[in-house]
Amino acid sequence: MESQKPKKVIARGLIGVVADDSEISTVGIGKGLNYRGYNIEDLANGCIFEEVLYLLLYKELPTKDQLTYFQEQIAENRYIPATLAEVIECVPKDSHPMDLMRTVASFLGTIEPESEKNDQYKISIRLSAIFAPCLFYWYHFHKSGKRIEVDTHKSDTIAKNIIRLLKNDGKEPEELLVKTMEVSLILYAEHDFNASAYNARVTASTLSDFYSGITSAIGTLRGPLHGGANEAAIRFIKQFKTKEEAEAKLYEMYSQKKLVMGFGHRIYKNGDPRSDIIKEYSRKLTKTDQGRPDLFEISERIENIMMSEKKMHPNLDFYSASAYYQLGLPVDFFTPIFVVSRTSGWAAHIIEQRSRNKLIRPASNYIGPEPKKFSVLDMRSKI
C-alpha cells in the first residue's frame, strides 16, 4: 500500500506560526508589551525615546554618560548631504511622504554604504537621526520654497527636533507637544514579528545590506493594513461634526460589515496596552491652543460604541490619530513619523537576524493545474 504524505499545515497570514526565537520584545505576554524585559508603561512614563532606541540596539538601558554620548551622536547625524538634498527636492510635492522615506533610505545607502567602518550600529543611528529632518526639509521646500536648517539645537531630542522642524517658527516647542511626540515614538518603536519587521528580517536573511532591510520594511509599512491605520482613523473621525452623527454612521457600517480602522488586534484580545497611554496625551492636547476637544469626544463615543456593540478595543493607532492631528502634523505624515520610531525596532531585528542567520524560505501548498503535455508554439490551437 502506497504511503500517504503528511498533509501540509497551511497558515495563511502566518497566523499562529512561531517563526524564530527573539530577545527583543514580548507582545501579549505578562502586562502586554515589553521591550527587552521592560514594561512599555514604565518606558513611556520614565524615558525619552533615545533611551529606548539605545535599549533596542544595545540590549540595555543607557547610563547617564552613555545617554549623553548617544545623544551627541544623534545630533551629529542630522545633517543632510548636498546630494541627498538634491534628491529630496526632486521628489514631487504630491508624492506620499512614505515614498520620500523609502527613497531617503535607499539613496543614503548609495552615498554612505555599509562597510566595516560604517557598520550596522552607525547606520541605525544615522537613519534614526536623519529621517525626520529629511521629511521636514521636503515638506517646507515644497510648501514655501524654503530650504530649512534641519540641524537644530544640539540638545534637542529626536522628539523635540520633530516639533521644532514641524513648526519652523523660531519659537521654543511647547513641552506638552514634545512629550506627546516622545511618548508616541516610544510606543511605536517595536512590536515583535510584525509585517515590516519580519520583512526586514527576510531581507537580512539573504545577507543583503542594512539599508535594503530598512527600505523593504518601509515599503511594507506603507500598506494601509499595517502603517496607514492611524491616517485612516483620523480621516474617519474628521468626517463627523457631532457624536450623534458618528454613532449613526457606525451602526450603518455594522449593517454593511465594514471595517472600522483603529480597532482590534490580532494579538491583543483584551486591549492594546499602548492605547490608554496615548489616549491620555490626546486628552491633554485638547486643552492647548490647537486642541480639538470635539474630535476627542467623537473618538470616545466611537470607542464606547465599539466596545459595547462589538467588544473591540482601540489599538494604538486610534488615539494616536487624534494626538498627531492636534500636534499639527499633516495626516500624510502620520506613517512617516511611524518610520522615525520603528527604525529602532527594525534595526534590532536586522541585527538579531544577522547574529544567528538562516535563510528564510517558506514553502507553499500548490493548488494549480495537474501536469500538462507541452506543445510547441506552432502546434498550439488558437482560442
Cell of 274: 499602548
Q: How confident is the model at residue 135 (pLDDT cuts 50, 70, 90)?
A: very high
CATH number at residue 206: 1.10.580.10
Q: Is 332 a catalytic residue?
A: no
282, 323 Cβ separation under 8 angstroms: yes
> Parallel, antiparallel, or unpaired: how do β-strands 33-35 and 25-27 relate?
antiparallel
* pLDDT tens readout for residues 323-366: 999 999 999 999 999 999 999 999 999 999 999 999 999 999 99
- 142 part of the active site: no
User: Which has the higher per-residue pLDDT, 96 or 379?
Assistant: 96
The predicted structure's pLDDT at residue 261: 83
Q: Which three cell numbers stand for residue 144?
A: 514655501
Q: Is there a domain that residue 338 lies in?
A: yes
One-character DSSP codes across 322-343: HHHHHHT--GGGHHHHHHHHHH
Instruction: Give the C-alpha separation, 113 to 172, whole Å.
Output: 36
Q: 200 burial class (0-12, 13-18, 19+ CB within 10 angstroms)?
A: buried
pLDDT tens digits, one per residue of 178-234:
999 999 999 999 999 999 999 999 999 999 999 999 999 999 999 988 888 889 999
What confidence tier does 3 reach under pLDDT thresholds 50, 70, 90? low
Question: Are both 147 and 197 inside the same structural domain?
Answer: yes
Mean pLDDT, rounded, for 300-329: 94
Please indicate, yes or no, if residue 253 is contained in any of the structural domains.
yes
**Is pLDDT of 283 > 50?**
yes
Instruction: Name the nearest CA neighbour of 341 among 182, 121, 122.
Output: 182
Number of domains composing the chain: 2
CATH of residue 281's domain is 1.10.230.10
- Are 55 and 143 in the same domain? yes
pLDDT in tens, 18-71: 899 999 999 866 558 999 999 999 999 999 999 999 999 999 999 999 999 999
pTM of the model: 0.93
Strand 25-27: give its sheet, edge to edge: 25-27, 33-35, 38-39
Main-chain dihedrals φ then ψ at residue 273, nearest 5 degrees = -65, -15
Tell me how far apart the terminal alpha carbons of the chain are, to the nearest angstrom. 43
* In-domain check, residue 205: yes
- Residue 303: what pLDDT? 95
Active-site annotation holder among 156, 272, 313, 317? 317
- Owning domain of residue 53: 21-223+334-355
* Sequence-ordered alpha helix ranges (H) in the chain: 40-46, 49-58, 64-76, 82-90, 97-111, 120-144, 158-167, 175-188, 195-205, 210-221, 229-238, 243-255, 275-285, 293-305, 316-327, 334-355
Active-site option among 265, 272, 313, 349: 265
